[in-house]
Amino acid sequence: MSFTQDQVQKFRADFPILSREVRGKPLIYLDNAATTQKPLAVIDSQARVYKELNANVHRGVHFLSQESTDAYEKSRRKIARHLGVADEAEIIFTRGTTEAINLVSRTWGLANVQAGDRVVVSRMEHHSNFVPWQALAREKGAEFVIWEIEPDFTLSLERLEDILKKGRVKLLAFTGMSNVLGTINPVPEISALAKKHGAQVLVDAAQAMAHLPISLKDWPNVDFVAFSAHKMCGPTGIGVLWAKRKTLEAMPPYQFGGDMILQVGDEVTTWNELPWKFEAGTPNYGDSIAFGTALDYLAEVGMERIHAYETELVHLARQKLLEIDQVKILAPESLALHSGAVSFTTGLVHPHDLATFLDAEGIAIRAGHHCAQPLMRKLNVIATNRASFAFYNTRAEVERFAEVVRAAMEYFG
């Protein structure tokens, strides 16, 4: 089940920024793949930390320190529950998806990937799930392999199997959902295939977590999952790495310093238990706590319905854009495989000119390579336009957006 427009209006009232005017026009915010807006509950939750319970976590016996530590650890439990994870020590707070992936690359990767091994990423990766693996492979003398996309903007299991059959694949890193194409990748099938061939699997869930109902119970063959709070109505500067306890215990620490130690000797230091072994220094408890509030909010709205409604918006955007001559949509045909974002080219107007034209009407969309230059090269474009949606966008906003794209085509044509 999806949402009625009345329900969407109620959600909108929770997001103060959505009532802003931009360039004298009501804001139409269609850059949700870059970051989502924040509901008042999240903004208040963060403010409450600093107004009422601010004290460094894990450090003091005093009341406030205990209160902030409790709130910080409670947020970790909420995240575990949201993911369907029983052991909350498997939730490592990071600065975001990028840091979570770098953590894996710099700890597990350095320890496990050897010369002659192969590291595979898909062609549709964000730079943050491409460059760390490329750099690691170069450093270790491993082979960096790109799993190419198909002409229909999907990934093929047959093509992956051909790569895996050649052997020595240590890691497959791929996105659950493309930030450019909106393609939804079948994580259970892909990860099962990789596991059959002995590879470890990392899923970049930055977009998938924001748009799809996900339980990690459905991803039994995935070893690492990374995502960011700011794409899920939460604050910036906080995200999560999830991995199984056994895997995390075998991994060397990422950064060294306070909180991640057990005993510091003059010669040798021992490491703290999970999850703190990977959380050196004062953690970002203010944002971690507010992230817990964001997950409460999303749970109330309902991830199943968010996915259903956003897919309707994507469908509407596709329909309206395709009514405009020369517009080409870069997405899988099937809506079962496409949600969240619509990338398109017009063949006439440069993407930056189009985004500027829309901006003059208060409409925020993205133009550029979307941190996916390897994908742009394959698609043979230097940039695309991308409109990306959240459950607080209305059908009227999507219609207005398409209308202004049409006006831009007429203007530039």
Ligand X SMILES: Cc1ncc(COP(=O)(O)O)c(C=O)c1O
The set of catalytic residues is 371
In angstroms, give the least distance from the CB of 234 to ligand X.
11
Neighbouring residues of 221: CB distance < 8 A, sequence distance ≥ 6: 188, 191, 192, 194, 195, 201
Q: Which of 368, 310, 373 is nearest to 343 (CA)?
A: 368
In angstroms, give the least distance from the CB of 229 to ligand X.
8
Judged by beta carbon, residue 88 or residue 125, the one nearer ligand X is 125
What is the residue type of 285? Y
Judged by beta carbon, residue 18 or residue 208, the one nearer ligand X is 208
**Can you spell out the DSSP letters for 307-319?**
HHHHHHHHHHHHH
Neighbouring residues of 246: CB distance < 8 A, sequence distance ≥ 6: none
Judged by beta carbon, residue 55 or residue 376, the one nearer ligand X is 376
Q: Which residue has the tokens 């992230």?
A: 291
Applying the rule CB under 6 A, the residues between 19 and 58 that interact with ligand X are 33-34
User: Which part of the chain contacts ligand X (CB under 6 A), choosing from 92-100, 215-223, 286-294, 396-404?
Assistant: 92-100
Candidates 79, 206, 209, 216: give the one binding ligand X (CB under 6 A).
206
In angstroms, give the least distance from the CB of 206 to ligand X.
3
Residues 169, 197: contact at Cβ < 8 Å? Answer: yes
- Whether the upstream peptide bond of residue 16 has omega within 30° of 0, thus cis, is no
Candidates 68, 128, 346, 393: give the one binding ligand X (CB under 6 A).
128
Candidates 46, 97, 346, 385: give the one binding ligand X (CB under 6 A).
97
Q: CA 36 → CA 71, 228, 266, distances in Å? A: 24, 11, 47
- Does the footprint of ligand X cover residue 179 (CB under 6 A)? yes
- Does the footprint of ligand X cover residue 204 (CB under 6 A)? yes
Report the largest interatomic distance among the alpha carbons of the chain, rounded to a whole angstrom. 73
Candidates 228, 293, 339, 393: give the one binding ligand X (CB under 6 A).
228
Residues within the interface to ligand X (CB under 6 A):
33-34, 96-98, 126, 128-129, 175, 179, 204, 206-207, 228
